[in-house]
Amino acid sequence: MRKLRVLSIVIFTILSLISLFYVYQLKFAFSLDQFFPEGDKELEFFQEFIKDFETDINFLLIAVERKEGVFEQSFLESFHDFTLKTRQVPYIKEAQSLTMISYPLKTPFAITTVPAIHIDQPEKYEKDKQRILSDERFVNTLINEDATALVVALKTEDEVMLEESDVLITAMDSLVKQYQFEDYHYLGPSYFQKEMVDMQMREVIVSSIVSGILVFIVMFWLFRRPWGIAISLSSIGLGLLLFMGFMGLTGLELNVMAALYPVLMIIVGTSDVIHIMSKYIDELRKGKSRKESIIITIKEIGLATLLTSLTTAVGFATLMTSRISPIKDFGMNAAIGVIIAYITVIFFTTALLSMMSTEQLIKLGKGQKFWEQLMQKMYDYSKRKARAIAIGSILFLAFCLYGISIITTNYRIESNLPRGKKISRDFMYFEEAFAGFRPMEYAVFAQEGYDADNYKVLREIDKLEQHLSQIPPIRSITSITAIYKSINQMNGRNKKEAYKLPETEAKYRRYKKMVDKVPDNNTNILLSKDKKKARITSRVLDLGADKVQDLSANINQWISENIDSTVVEFRETGTSFILDKNAEYVRRNLLEGLALAILIVAILMSLLFRNIKMVLISMVPNILPLLLAGAILGYLGIELEAGIAIIFAVIFGIAVDDSIHFLSKYKLSRQKGMDIESALHVTFMETGKAICLTTVILFFGFLVMLFSIHPPSVTVGVLISVTLLSAVLADLLLLPVLIRNFLKD
């Protein structure tokens, strides 16, 4: 044993040093396309569609405020200079703002231009303002309705990676601070990417520190001996270090769910450590030697802990059936982490424990008596109130089923942004003052015999645009028709009412000759080179996935009733449309994943218990917490989305651990010749304490997520904490009732 102890400690010391090196190689990642459902037909269509145009998320908007009004000369001069300077920022391809836009003007001699804003002529500001605020092309896009903010619309390179986003936003911050603007706001994928990764890094650090403090307090309260505290903390910390080192070594990226990794590793490690140490101390107190105690601990608790680790890993691994990459990655990484925690405890922790006596590990006192009295009361209650427990469970089931029936999946971008941060304030500012963030695109397909810029096709596109403009949440609508409307307006003395398609096809043909002379780089984002496809781009406010889906369904119904399908066909597409499909996949994967988890866990438990009744009984108290989690979502109106859906796998994977420990002890007691009541009593007195302790740690451990600034993480933490309390109550109250009624002598 001594050689094995030394070998184990040396190996883990070496592994910890290697892990420490690779922790600094950890990579963080965030991008919107991470949340695209893999293998989706709509995604494949969108990816093919943008090959003819460009992506709909290659933008960065910068809103600059002047609360007294933007039509003031020094402000406009600064803003114009700022617009010009943004073109020099890395990864920016184009920049546009109202101070750079001119109206075309037809004169008897030639076509000239008139600036939208006469920056050097303040006496014309009022007229400029009235004309701009009556122009649908600019309001809510480049200027807000109150004329208190202007926007610089920047086009970025199509695929801006994390490092590039960091360079871009840092350079933009430096530039904007050179001007004395009252306030400024950003909106765009590159900004999201930088800020969300910064949030992830903050979350990992904070959750690690807070979880570590919590575990120290718990271990101090439990053991009150330096060696007991040191062994438990070093084991838990080592498991976390090895896991993070493994991720750094293999190049696995930390995504938006990264904050959960430290909490999970610390909690899972703590649960394993408490079960192992509690059993070892119990055996020492019975008078057995350290060698005998550690062997019994590994045989009895080591096997049960192996099964609990496998079932927890299975719960997480079922998330790998998801089509959404962050969920799939979280499931795989969490499953690996659980196994790493188990290996650490079963080899490293036991090696250290085998050198210690009871007095070195724990200070026995009133605490031990408290737990014994509590477990006795729980045992007596489960025996005396069996009927009440059964009826209460049925009523609880009905309560949960109704709550589940009212769950919504109205996912909103706002609900995933960090609380109290500039990115959240900026997002809401653009939602309230401009057109928002969500792109809404329609692919336009000219039918046989027509080009996408044919007059009849343009009229059908315009009909759809007019319909979209009547829907308040949809803003900033643009298509190839805008060019023809602008030319028509120019010929109509730039009057507002002249901004429309030409009334006759003859006019259209004259205008088309002018359009054909427009450089391709001004039209190819709206019209394909072969002129068979076009696009309608717009933005829709962050109403929520379900509401936008209803909106889309109504629009599609209008299209089918009002558009001539022999001339043109429309198909909704775009980043937002693809992301909103996640709600559908979340529901489907949730049910499929849980069904698979229950099946695999049932198989594992049947191998352990070899009793079909015991397997079925063990499932009941572990399904109830899942139902409670769903009910809470329904009653509190919390949207079921990708970040929230993982709670069901986490709850099932962790909750089943207590059932396995309870039933394992019960089975061992029965094998020693005890009757049902004696076996249950021993199980309560020996395993009940460890189950309660681990649940207390799990409860407060997941409440660590209250320190998160990421709303879904807070929701996940609170939901898991509450439902795991229900799980331990089900194990200590309902499970004994089921055993007494279905596992008779």
Query: Using one digit for the tens of pLDDT, what is the confidence trace for 293-337?
Result: 888 888 888 887 888 888 888 878 878 877 777 888 888 888 999
pLDDT for residue 51: 83
472 plus 338 within the same structural domain: no
- Per-chain mean pLDDT for the chain: 86
548 plus 500 within the same structural domain: yes
pLDDT for residue 88: 93
pLDDT for residue 53: 83
pLDDT for residue 556: 93
Nearest to 602 by CA among 589, 620, 587, 624: 620
CATH code for position 670: 1.20.1640.10
**Other beta carbons less than 10 A from residue 517's beta carbon:** 7
Q: Is residue 548 part of a domain?
A: yes
pLDDT for residue 659: 84
668-706 per-residue burial string, b: 16 or more CB within 10 A, e: under 16: bbbeeebebeebbbbbbbbbbbbbbbbbbbbbbbbbbbe
Nearest to 83 by CA among 96, 65, 102: 96
Q: Single out the residue in 163, 187, 211 at which a domain terminates.
A: 187
Question: What integer is the mean pLDDT of 180-209?
Answer: 88
Q: Are 559 and 570 in contact (CB under 8 A)?
A: yes
722 plus 598 within the same structural domain: yes
Place of tokens 């910068």: 62
Q: Are 481 and 568 in contact (CB under 8 A)?
A: no
pTM for this structure?
0.82
> Exposure of 24 by Cβ count < 10 A (0-12 exposed, 13-18 middle, 19+ buried)?
exposed
Strands 253-254 and 27-28: parallel
Distance set, CA 370 to CA 125, 240, 390, 549 (Å)? 80, 32, 27, 55
Inform me whether the pLDDT recorded for 16 exceeds 90: yes
pLDDT for residue 745: 57
pLDDT for residue 272: 85
Q: Is 573 helix (H, G, I), strand (E, B) or coil?
A: strand
381 plus 232 within the same structural domain: yes
> What are 48's two structure tokens?
């093919």
> Exposure of 97 by Cβ count < 10 A (0-12 exposed, 13-18 middle, 19+ buried)?
buried
Q: Is residue 41 part of a domain?
A: no
Euclidean distance between CA atoms 277 and 345, whole angstroms: 10
Q: Are 191 and 59 in contact (CB under 8 A)?
A: no
Euclidean distance between CA atoms 374 and 307, whole angstroms: 27
Q: What length does the chain have?
A: 745
Q: Is 633 helix (H, G, I), strand (E, B) or coil?
A: helix
Could you say which DSSP state residue 319 is in? Answer: G
Distance set, CA 45 to CA 49, 383, 570 (Å)? 6, 61, 13
Q: Single out the residue in 550, 578, 606 at which a domain terminates.
A: 578
392 plus 495 within the same structural domain: no
Helices assigned H by DSSP within 704-734: 711-729
Question: What integer is the mean pLDDT of 364-368?
Answer: 62
Q: Are 658 and 695 in contact (CB under 8 A)?
A: yes
**Other beta carbons less than 10 A from residue 82's beta carbon:** 22
pLDDT for residue 590: 66
Helix pair angle (642-671, 612-636), 10° resolution:
150
Confidence of residue 87 (pLDDT cuts 50, 70, 90): very high
Q: Give the number of domains in the chain.
A: 3
Distance set, CA 104 to CA 31, 54, 133, 236, 510 (Å)? 39, 27, 18, 70, 16
How far apart are the two ends of the chain, measured CA to CA in Å?
Answer: 41
CATH code for position 64: 3.30.70
> What are 275's two structure tokens?
């079960």
574 plus 586 within the same structural domain: no
**Averaging pLDDT over each range in 101-105, 121-125, 219-223, which range is the top one?**
121-125
- Half-sphere exposure in the Cβ direction for 180 (13 Å, CA): 3
Q: Is residue 672 part of a domain?
A: yes
pLDDT for residue 357: 83
pLDDT for residue 128: 92
DSSP string, 500-526: S--SSHHHHHHHHHHHTTS-HHHHTTT
Q: What are phi and psi of 112, to 5 degrees?
A: -120, -170
Nearest to 19 by CA among 237, 210, 230: 237
Q: Amino acid letter at 21? A: F
398 plus 546 within the same structural domain: no
209 plus 175 within the same structural domain: no
Question: What integer is the mean pLDDT of 710-714?
Answer: 84
User: CA 587, 592, 597 angle in degrees (round to 5)?
Assistant: 125
pLDDT for residue 518: 72
Query: What's the longest Cα–Cα distance across the chain?
Result: 111
> What are 387's two structure tokens?
């009927």
> What are 563's two structure tokens?
């558009």
Inform me whether the pLDDT recorded for 367 exceeds 80: no
Q: Is residue 677 part of a domain?
A: yes
Confidence of residue 366 (pLDDT cuts 50, 70, 90): low
Q: What are phi and psi of 143, to 5 degrees?
A: -150, 145
Lowest model confidence (mean pLDDT) among 194-198, 437-441, 583-587, 697-701: 583-587
> What are 143's two structure tokens?
């200027």
Distance set, CA 447 to CA 32, 42, 450, 479, 504 (Å)? 33, 21, 6, 18, 21
248 plus 377 within the same structural domain: yes
174 plus 234 within the same structural domain: no
Question: What integer is the mean pLDDT of 134-155?
Answer: 92
Q: Is residue 47 part of a domain?
A: no
Q: Is residue 236 part of a domain?
A: yes
Question: What integer is the mean pLDDT of 179-194?
Answer: 91
> pLDDT for 654-700, tens place per residue?
778 788 888 888 888 888 888 889 999 988 888 887 788 778 877 88
pLDDT for residue 522: 62
Q: Single out the residue in 169, 187, 205 at which a domain terminates.
A: 187
Q: Which domain holds residue 537?
A: 432-578
Residue 91 zone, left/alpha/beta (φ > 0; ψ -120 to 50; rest): left
Q: Is residue 399 part of a domain?
A: yes
Lowest model confidence (mean pLDDT) among 14-23, 74-83, 296-305: 296-305
174 plus 260 within the same structural domain: no
Lowest model confidence (mean pLDDT) among 185-194, 531-540, 601-610: 601-610
Euclidean distance between CA atoms 261 and 207, whole angstroms: 9
Question: Of residues 201 and 582, which shows the higher confidence score?
Answer: 201
Could you say which DSSP state residue 109 is in? Answer: S
Residue 539 zone, left/alpha/beta (φ > 0; ψ -120 to 50; rest): beta
Euclidean distance between CA atoms 460 and 466, whole angstroms: 10
Euclidean distance between CA atoms 107 and 47, whole angstroms: 44
Residue 140 zone, left/alpha/beta (φ > 0; ψ -120 to 50; rest): left
Confidence of residue 365 (pLDDT cuts 50, 70, 90): low
240 plus 383 within the same structural domain: yes
Nearest to 485 by CA among 15, 2, 104: 104
Q: Is residue 37 part of a domain?
A: no
Euclidean distance between CA atoms 705 and 203, whole angstroms: 9
Helices assigned H by DSSP within 24-124: 41-49, 73-86
Euclidean distance between CA atoms 25 and 19, whole angstroms: 10
